[in-house]
Amino acid sequence: MIDVKGLRKTFGDQEILKGIDAHIEKGEKIVIIGPSGSGKSTFIRCLNLMEIPTAGTITFDGKDITHLNSKEINMVRQRMGMVFQHFNLFPHLTVKKNITLAPVMLGLMSKEEASKKADELLERVGLPDKANEYPKQLSGGQKQRVAIARSLAMNPEVMLFDEPTSALDPEMVGEVLLLMKQLAEDGMTMVVVTHEMGFAREVASRVLFMADGNILEENTPDRFFTNPKNQRLKDFLSKVIS
Amino acid sequence: MDLMESIRQNFIDEDRWKYLFDGLMTTLLITLFAVLIGLALGFLVAIIRSTHLKTGKLTILDFFCKIYLAVIRGTPVVVQLLITYFVIFGSVDISKVLVAILAFGINSGAYVAEIVRGGIMSIDNGQFEAGRSLGLNYRQTMQRIIMPQALKTVLPALANEAIVLLKETSVAGYIAIADLTKGGDIIRSQTFSPFLPLISVALIYLVIVLFLTHMTGKLERRLAANDRR
Ligand SMILES: Nc1ncnc2c1ncn2[C@@H]1O[C@H](COP(=O)(O)OP(=O)(O)O)[C@@H](O)[C@H]1O
Ligand SMILES: [Mg+2]
């Protein structure tokens, strides 16, 4: 579904991604781990062209998306949901409006359809009674669930998560991971940057280890965690799994 | 001369109160339309400048905006008014009040632009990214996500700018416009008693400014209450 070849990204004179190759099949759940600053966010943001790659190709559904005009880029983004560490809900809009804004504005749904879809999604993320509240009134975990619902409203083919639980109080991490697990079970194609090793083990079809702008190791979670080969991965794992 | 006599002489004789009343109307007229021009111009400039900052586009327009801001904010408003009247419209038969509206409007636009640009840039970039990641284009994201939030944060500052402008129009007399200040001064020159006419002018400004400040405060409190919602 997504094929990344020789992906490079530089900011100024700093090369952040140094030639990444990756392949993501439909329905796969890819979990990316790695130390801070290794380029995980940059990589995932290249996938939906929030960052424009400096070199290399990204093929999405058989089409090279690295040389699109801005209109075509917007079309690609409509098909890929993105969930951010800091939720980025729209504070001036109600929960329901947060969810319906894009599909209605982009002409994908009528107001009524979008409203119905929002109700369904809020049910699905366990917040059916929050439709008319404002983001301020929600807890962190609830905000992230609404943000996920907002992305799902676009009926995306892939969901990209950039450390979706890193900004949450510990007691709220579980509810978001649970929702992501359900999403995975429903067959969603997912790319998840996270430090939640339990989630990686349980949900990932493959785990990628990134460091210094490279993917140093890539394996099924079972082998990735029980039999890591790369020394830096071994060091990293010994630090995060104590 | 007792107070009653002075009041009669300064305001009642020869209907001198009309200088103040007509002057006030002129001041309010100039302020109102200058505020409208300032808002339109200021928003335009702010959007051009923040679009340039965010996307790197509109480089040439941004350059002209920068010149406009530097010139307007780097020179006194009286000088701008004089140049507008005697140089730019020097050989044109045009209403002085219209000239004043233009000059003050263009002046205010520069300050509005900086206020609004500050408001736009103060909105967390994550808001912008969330909008774009959903597939909204730049304009849609600005319109529906960034500007509503930015507007809310700058509303008090904009109201304050209008108040400042009201007071600044008091130099309209430089091009012989009979505004409120000039009205008081005309009375003074006719009656040779400066106290009452000038104090009255000051009081009228003060009352209007206090009223507008009060309304701004109310607006601010309502916005804050909205935020706590
Ligand atoms: N827009 C940008 N401009 C300049 N440098 C950036 C930008 N985005 C990321 N970087 C740099 O790229 C490096 C990798 O960042 P990032 O992809 O966020 O890493 P990670 O998500 O793995 O922590 C960091 O050193 C960061 O400072
Ligand atoms: Mg990151």
* Residues B52-91 pLDDT 10s: 998 899 999 999 999 999 999 999 999 999 999 999 999 9
Number of folded domains that form chain B: 1
Q: What percent of chain B has pLDDT over 70?
A: 99
Decide: A59 and A136 in contact? Cβ < 8 Å.
Answer: no
Please give the torsion angle defined by the CA atoms of residues B56, B58, B61 and B66, in that order, rounded to the nearest 10 degrees. -10
Which amino acid appears at position B200 of this protein? S
What average pLDDT does this structure show over A199-207?
A: 97
The pLDDT of residue B182: 96
Task: Please enumerate in sequence order all residues whose Cβ is within 8 A of that of A193, keeping only pairs 6 or more positions apart, or say none.
Answer: A31, A32, A33, A40, A41, A44, A161, A162, A163
- Using a CB-CB cut-off of 8 Å, the residues of chain A touching B136 are 74, 102, 105-106
- Residue A137 contacts B where some CB pair is shorter than 8 Å: yes
Residue B9 lies in a domain: no
- Residue A150 contacts B where some CB pair is shorter than 8 Å: yes
Q: Is the dihedral of CA B75, B79, B85, B90 positive or negative?
A: negative
Using only C-alpha atoms, chain B has a radius of gyration, in whole angstroms, of 22
Residue B154 lies in a domain: yes
Tell me if A88 and B149 make a contact (CB, 8 A cut-off).
no
Lining ligand 1 with CB less than 6 A are A 11, 16, 34, 36-42
CA distance B82 to B101: 13
Interface list for chain B against chain A, based on CB atoms closer than 8 Å: 124, 126-127, 129-138, 140, 144-145, 148-149, 152, 227-229
The pLDDT of residue B196: 93
Query: How long, in residues, is chain A?
Result: 242
Residue B20 lies in a domain: yes
The pLDDT of residue B185: 96
Tokens of A207: 């785990």
Task: Identify any residues that bridge with A160 across adjacent strands, giving them in sequence order.
Answer: A82, A191
- Selection from B86, B44, B89 nearest residue B68 by Cα: B44
Q: pLDDT band for position B120 (50/70/90)? A: very high
CA distance A104 to B186: 61
Token pair 């992501």 is found at A180
**Phi and psi, residue A161, nearest 5°:** -120, 125
Say if residue B104 is exposed, middle or buried (CB neighbours under 10 Å; 0-12, 13-18, 19+). buried
Residue B6 lies in a domain: no
Orientation of helix B125-133 relative to helix A70-78, angle to 10°: 80
Task: Determine the straight-line distance between the first and last CA of chain B, rounded to whole angstroms.
Answer: 60
Residue B181 lies in a domain: yes
Residue B11 lies in a domain: no
Q: What is the CATH number of the domain that holds B168?
A: 1.10.3720.10
Q: What is the domain range of residue B208? A: 16-227
- Selection from A120, A106, A142 nearest residue B133 by Cα: A106
Tell me if B135 and A84 make a contact (CB, 8 A cut-off).
no
CA distance A118 to A153: 7
- Residue A52 contacts B where some CB pair is shorter than 8 Å: no
Residue B144 lies in a domain: yes
Decide: A209 and A38 in contact? Cβ < 8 Å.
Answer: no
- Selection from A80, A81, A66, A10 nearest residue A42 by Cα: A10
CA distance B127 to B115: 20
Tell me if A77 and B133 make a contact (CB, 8 A cut-off).
yes
Say if residue A1 is exposed, middle or buried (CB neighbours under 10 Å; 0-12, 13-18, 19+). middle
Q: Is the dihedral of CA A215, A220, A225, A226 positive or negative?
A: negative
- Give the residue on B whose Cα is nearest the Cα of A71: B137
Structure confidence by residue, pLDDT tens digits, B152-211: 999 999 999 999 999 999 999 999 999 999 999 999 999 999 999 999 999 999 999 999
Residue B1 lies in a domain: no
Residue ID of nearest Cα to ligand 1 atom 18: A41
For the cut 90, the answer to whether the pLDDT of residue B122 exceeds it is: yes
SS3 category, A100: helix
The pLDDT of residue B226: 75
User: Listing from the earlier edge strand, what are the strands of the sheet with A14-24?
Assistant: A14-24, A2-11, A55-60, A63-64
C-alpha distance from residue A111 to each of A158, A166, A190, B1 (Å): 24, 34, 28, 75
Structure confidence by residue, pLDDT tens digits, B5-38: 989 998 888 999 999 999 999 999 999 999 999 9
Q: Which of A9, A11, A13 to mutate to test the pocket of ligand 1 (most atoms within 8 A of CB)?
A: A11
Atom of ligand 1 nearest to the CA of A162: 21
